[in-house]
Chains A and B, each alone.
Chain A
Amino acid sequence: MGTWQDAMGVKIVTKGFGVPGSHKLSVYTQRGGFQAFPKALTWQPSALTDEVKKSNLRGRGGAGFPTGMKWSFIPKDAKLTYLVVNADESEPGTCKDRELLAYDPHLLIEGMLIASYALGCKHAYIYIRGEMMREARIVQEAIDEAYAAGWLGKDHPAAGGGGTFKLDVTLHRGAGAYICGEETGLLNSLEGKRGWPRLKPPFPAIKGLFGAPTVVNNVETIMNIPEIITRGGEWFAALGTGKSGGTRIVCVSGHVNKPGVFELPMGIPFRDIIYDVCGGIPNGRVLKGVIPGGSSMPPLDASEIDVPCEFDALMNDPRIKDVEVKPGVPFDLGGGRRLKSMAGSGGIVVFDDQTDIVALCARIMAFYAHESCGQCTPCREGSGWLARLCTRLARGEGEAGDVELLANIANGIGGNTICALGDAAAWPMLGFLTKFRADFESRVKAAGTAPLHKSLPKSVEGAA
């Protein structure tokens, strides 16, 4: 087992970045594409799932669930299964799937072919975010090319699955709701219903799209599959750290000199990402904190950035403080488990010491209030309440007790909702309060002196 530095420079899913015409089938095949799929067809489907398990590939959409295990939940005797690729990337701070789709759509198609073969799926869907119009066009052209070349829509001789394998792929454009990136909200939307998340159980692996067993995987997750088949699960696992195989794509934004989308080693610490990969903080300012994986994840403060940008480390590393409900009282994730942070979708947002933390938090809360689907009460009512209170504090008009109230509301939302969107609003709220409590307390009216930020989120103007 080497160090994370060994994997520096390894490219699995960003190989097409910067290659002229990389989204074309001809360029993709020149680069060695569509070799993993014929190889996979010589395997039994179950062997593919085992290989993915061996690779320690974890879902790149946010939760980091082991992909192989997710695949193995599909009942063995299922007659009809679906694969749905979640390309509804909408977590603030995340922009990796968009680039991946624009540069290498055929890698996604090849990954879908292999995954569908492993899952016994005959019709796979790509649910793409409505705003990604350019990418939707590119992906559709790629699908058309793949049909014309016979990769899609034609029988291929296969070792398993009754001797032949054929896949159809449909691209479906969403209408731009954040909640439709939640896998069961996505399935409802794909079925033509309101994009409300479903109650679990039953999980999609048992009852998913149109009632059939379904696997929903992120774009980046599926794009890793061909390389795993080509180079083996063990190689992929060795590339990563601990129980997380492969590389990690991060999208760095905020106060860094060189923001962008980078494919990096799984175990790289945030310090190296900020100061080496992204060239440090502009104007000689000092780091105040980092959002590690999209705005729904609790932030890290400047003292916590030596932690690797890896799934388990962000959840368990003792260098990260527990998120608290109030000073000294940790937030209960359930059963006494503590919340630190999570790797999420890889959207890293860096902020320097000039940042108005309360205004930043108010903007994040305004986002979740706007995007709450409205199905279950705590998130629907609580997220709007958080946004209004945060905005009031950001204006310096907070009342005494507002800070405690924010924490109490967030604590009431967290863990009590149907889907994770409630947590997505509650966790950062509690995280910001834990790490930057003084910033909030300075905005209570009685405190008096706090300077105000110029631009408050427009969507909650006048609501408080």
Chain B
Amino acid sequence: MTTTPITGTPPSPAPATELVTVTVDGKTQQFPKGTVLLEACNQMGAGVPFFCYHPGLTSPAVCRQCLVDVKGQPKPVPSCYTPVADKMEVMTKSPRALDVRRQMLEFTLVNHPIDCPICDKAGECLLQKHYFDWDAKLARNDGIKVKKAKVVDIGPRIVLDQERCILCTRCIRVCDEVAKTHQLEMADRGDHEVLTTAPGHQLDNPYSLNTVDVCPVGALTSKDFRFAMRAWELYTTPSICPGCATGCNIEVHHSHGKIQRLIPRQNDQVNEHWMCDEGRLTYKRVHAQRLAAPMSGGVPVDWDRALDDAGRALRVALDAGPAQVGVVMNAQSTNEDLYALARLTFDHLGLGKVYLAGLDQGWSDDILVSADKNPNTAGAMAIGAGRLRTLLDLANDLKSGAVTTLLVVGTHGVIGKDGAPGALPLDRLTTLVVVGTHRDEVTAAAKVALPLAEWAESDGTFTNRLGMVQRVRAAVPPAGDSLPGWEILSHLARKLGATMEFTEAKTVFAEAKQKLPFMKDAEWGRPLLPVQLRFAGSRG
């Protein structure tokens, strides 16, 4: 699975559905009864074009672009609104079907500004694609086009270009059917019809950026992404959103080592075709305030020196009294990093005071967003297997002096957003060793701070709230000198006299899969190179 194919795939049919036999362009195949004809045609490779149809939404059949000939039907039928029937014979490339579709495409283009050179959607635009695939002729309309508004600010995250809009109503249906709020509307009539916000509303629902994804043209653009990048210069890597415990499947779109945007990837068990706006912006933290180099005593040092210092500091503390050494795990870490840390902590060092940190609880809904803002709480709890304590326990242990040395791996939420830094009295520690992604209060207070790769920079797995172990892939190189957690921990283990010879994330995964029941069915998947976005990967 690289990019979502242009047709998407339909929700897997209920088992034991009746099958019907359909003939498309001379080829015959069986489909579950009720399958949309358009899906059947395109699963058989007919490549029937469409604009308004979206596999995750209802079909209004308004664009008329998917008309095909069906034997026995007097006129071409909209295949997006026609269920397959037994012995149906479909001609997607009959002269009449080709001609009528070419004409529908021409109608769509009559008042379209064709400003592709300055359009953000160029390169991943369905209209552009269909034009090159099916028509590629000069316009017959030599008159003036209908003028509409070019830059309409319709919400905090989205800008609308009414001229580019082909009025397919996909965005209206995303709001109605996914976000369950009616914020977009059509106004006016005929070829002066425009998309607009419903009176008294703006497009500000928590799922509003899905409208940009489904927009087949460049009418809706994300304020965050517009003018940032030509789509065909982007590379895509499949991954998992780190924004909450839902674990929406995503594609990371990146270029030159920088993430440009996150977009949802279809998974009918988790997020179908969608993700929330908050999750989309989680990529920002990957490129902000990163800890780029190992630090020892407040100055940048090389890895060897930093690992020596960290190892020595921990060794001293362990020799003095292992009962006073605490370890903080993080629910933001991958299963692999957590497994490596658990092996070092429990198996090699035999420590008992292990705490779980993570971002604070937040808002939730019954659509996608979880209150738990960590992507791997389920994995951490399973790996901790009842041995994990809370940050409140840690605060008490620090105050009472029960813990004097602390190893923190992952600093997200160690010092809560609202809690004053004093709530966790790190200054009571004699030794603080931190493996962290960002320059924050925790890494600043550390004796030794080791730079940790973020989720988008490392391979691994997250376990979502449903217990599904999902694969995270490194999309961009780690910031500065940072390294994946399992690798840092392997080096640290060696310094502490333990043997933990992990050479790549996959070997950690393989071992964890054998040891941990919750991972026994997990799959690592094939290695993937980032795929450059071309028309072949057009999103639409």
Residue numbers of A with Cβ under 8 A of B are 177, 179, 194, 199, 333-337, 369-378, 380-385, 388-389, 392, 399, 405, 408, 412, 415-418, 463-464
Interface size on B, residues (CB 8 A): 36
Q: What 1/0 flags go to B189-204 for Cβ under 8 Å of A?
A: 1111100000000000
Residues of A near B167 (CB, < 8 A) are 374, 377, 380
For B143, list chain A residues within 8 Å (CB).
385, 388-389, 392, 463-464
Q: Which residue of B65, B144, B166, B191 contacts A464 across the interface (Cβ within 8 Å)?
A: B144
Q: Is the CB–CB distance between B64 and A335 below 8 Å?
A: no
Chain A residues contacting B141 (CB-CB under 8 Å) are 385
Q: B61–A381 contact, CB under 8 A? A: no
Q: Does B62 contact A (CB under 8 A)?
A: yes
A412-B104, A464-B144 known; A376 vs B189 contact (CB < 8 Å)? no
A-B pairs with beta carbons under 8 Å apart, 9 shown? A336-B74, A371-B190, A374-B190, A377-B63, A377-B65, A377-B104, A412-B104, A416-B75, A418-B62
**Is there contact, CB below 8 Å, between A378 and B104?**
yes
Cβ of A375 and Cβ of B62 under 8 Å apart?
yes
Specify which chain A residues have a CB less than 8 angstroms from the CB of B136 in the assembled complex.
none
Cβ-defined contact, B64 with A380, below 8 A: no
| Contact between chains at A377 and B107 (CB < 8 Å) | yes
Smallest Cβ-Cβ distance to A201: which chain B residue: B81
- 4 nearest A-B residue pairs (beta carbon): A334-B74, A374-B193, A335-B74, A384-B191
User: How far, in whole Å, are A377 and B67 apart by their CA atoms in the complex?
Assistant: 12
Q: Nearest chain A CB to B485's CB is how many angstroms away? A: 53
* CA–CA, A373 and B191, complex, Å: 9
Least distance between A404 CB and chain B CB atoms (Å) = 10
A376-B64, A412-B100, A418-B62 in contact; A381/B144 too (CB < 8 A)? Answer: no
Complex contact B63–A372 (CB within 8 A): no
B188 closest partner in A (C-beta):
A374
Tell whether, in the assembled complex, residue B144 and residue A418 are in contact, meaning their CB atoms are under 8 Å apart: no
B142 interface contact, C-beta 8 A:
yes
Contacts A381-B108, A388-B143, A418-B61 known; A412 to B103 CB distance under 8 Å? yes
**Using Cβ atoms and an 8 Å threshold, which residues of chain A touch B367?**
none
CB atoms of B103 and A177 under 8 A apart: no
Q: Which of A370, A376, A412, A464 contacts B63 (CB 8 A)?
A: A376
Choice from B67, B76, B106, B190 contacting A372 with Cβ under 8 Å: B190
Nearest CB on A from B200, distance (A): 16
Asked if B186 lies at the interface with its beta carbon under 8 angstroms from chain A, I say yes
Residues of B with Cβ closer than 8 Å to A?
Answer: 60-65, 67, 73-76, 81, 100, 103-104, 106-108, 110-111, 140-144, 146, 166-167, 185-186, 188-193
> What is the bound-complex CA distance between A270 and B146, given in angstroms?
41
Cross-chain contact A381 with B67 (CB below 8 angstroms): no
How far does the Cβ of B274 sit from chain A's closest Cβ, in whole Å?
24
Query: Quick one: given A334-B74, A376-B62, A416-B100, are A383 and B190 in contact (CB under 8 Å)?
Result: yes
CB closest chain-A residue, reference B109: A381
A463 and chain B: residue at smallest CB distance: B144
Q: Is the beta-carbon distance between B65 and A374 smaller than 8 angstroms?
A: no
Chain B residues within an 8 Å CB radius of A373: 189-190
Contact of A381 with B110 in the complex, beta carbons under 8 Å: yes
Contact of A399 among B100, B142, B192 (CB under 8 A): B142
B188 touches A199 (CB 8 A): no
Complex CA–CA separation, A388 to B144 (angstroms): 9
Distance of A6 from chain B, by nearest CB (Å): 38
CB distance A199 to B189 under 8 Å?
A: no
Closest CB in chain B relative to A371 CB, distance in Å: 7
Chain A residues, CB < 8 A from B60: 199, 375
Q: Considering the complex, give the chain B residue whose CB is closest to the CB of A413.
A: B107
Residues of B within 8 A of A415 (CB): 75
Contact A416 to B61, CB < 8 A, known contacts A392-B143, A464-B144: no
Identify A377's interface contact among B64, B73, B75, B188, CB under 8 A. B64
Query: Cβ of A333: which chain B residues have Cβ within 8 Å of it?
Result: 74
Across the interface, name the chain A residue whose C-beta is closest to B100: A416
Q: How far is the CB of B109 from chain A (nearest CB, A)?
A: 8
State whether A334 and B75 are in contact (beta carbons under 8 Å apart), knowing that A385-B141, A416-B67, A416-B100 are contacts in the complex. yes
Would you give the shortest CB distance from A331 to chain B, in whole angstroms? 12
Are A416 and B76 in contact (CB-based, < 8 A)? yes
Q: Which residue of B is nearest A337, CB measured?
A: B74
- What CA separation (Å) do A294 and B492 show in the bound complex? 87
When distances are taken between beta carbons in the complex, the residues of chain B under 8 Å from A177 are 189
Q: Which residues of B contact A416 (CB under 8 A)?
A: 64, 67, 75-76, 100, 103-104
B59, closest chain A residue (CB):
A199
CB closest chain-B residue, reference A415 = B75
List 7 additional contacts besides A370-B189, A377-B166, A412-B103; criterion CB under 8 Å: A375-B62, A376-B62, A377-B107, A382-B107, A416-B103, A417-B64, A463-B143
Q: Which of B65, B100, B193 sits near A380, CB closer than 8 Å?
A: B193
Give A178's nearest chain B residue, CB to CB: B189
Chain B residues with CB under 8 Å of A334's CB are 73-75
With CB as the reference atom, state the residue of chain A lying closest to B166: A377
Contact yes or no, A374 B191, CB < 8 A:
yes
Q: Residue on A with the closest CB to B61?
A: A199
CB distance from B103 to the nearest CB of A (A): 4
Q: Which of B67, B108, B186 contacts A194 (CB under 8 A)? A: B186
Q: Please name all residues of chain A whose beta carbon is closer than 8 Å to the beta carbon of B144 when the two chains form the complex.
A: 388, 463-464
Chain A min CB distance to B135 (Å): 13
Given contacts A377-B108, A378-B107, A418-B61, contact A384 B140 (CB under 8 A): no
A374, A376, A383: the one within 8 Å of B186 (CB):
A374
C-alpha gap A384/B110 in the complex (Å): 10
CB distance from B414 to the nearest CB of A (A): 52
Distance in angstroms from B305 CB to nearest chain A CB is 67
CA distance A383 to B62 in the complex (A): 15
Q: Is the CB of B100 within 8 A of A405?
A: no
Determine if B62 and A372 form an interchain contact, defined as CB atoms under 8 angstroms apart. Answer: no
**A375–B192 CA distance with the chains assembled, in angstroms:** 11
Q: Determine whether the beta carbon of B190 is less than 8 Å from that of A369.
A: yes
Known: A376-B63, A412-B100. A369 touches B75 (CB 8 A): no
Interface centre among A334, A336, A412 (most CB of B within 10 A): A412
A405 to B139, CA, bound (A): 12
Q: Which residue of A lies closest to B76 (CB)?
A: A416
Q: Which residues of B contact A381 (CB under 8 A)?
A: 107-108, 110-111, 191
Q: Closest approach, in angstroms, between the C-beta of A197 and any C-beta of chain B? A: 10
A405 neighbours in B (Cβ, 8 Å): 140
Determine the residue in chain A with the shortest Cβ distance to B106. Answer: A412
Bound-complex Cα distance A382 to B60 (A): 19
**In the bound complex, do residue A385 and residue B186 qualify as a contact, i.e. CB atoms below 8 Å apart?**
no
Minimum CB–CB distance from B377 to chain A (whole Å) comes to 43
The distance in angstroms between the C-alpha atoms of A382 and B110, with both chains bound, is: 8
Measured in the bound complex, the distance between the Cα atoms of B389 and A207 in whole Å is: 59
User: Cβ of B64 and Cβ of A369 under 8 Å apart?
Assistant: no
In the complex, the answer to whether A369 meets B186 with C-beta atoms within 8 Å is: no
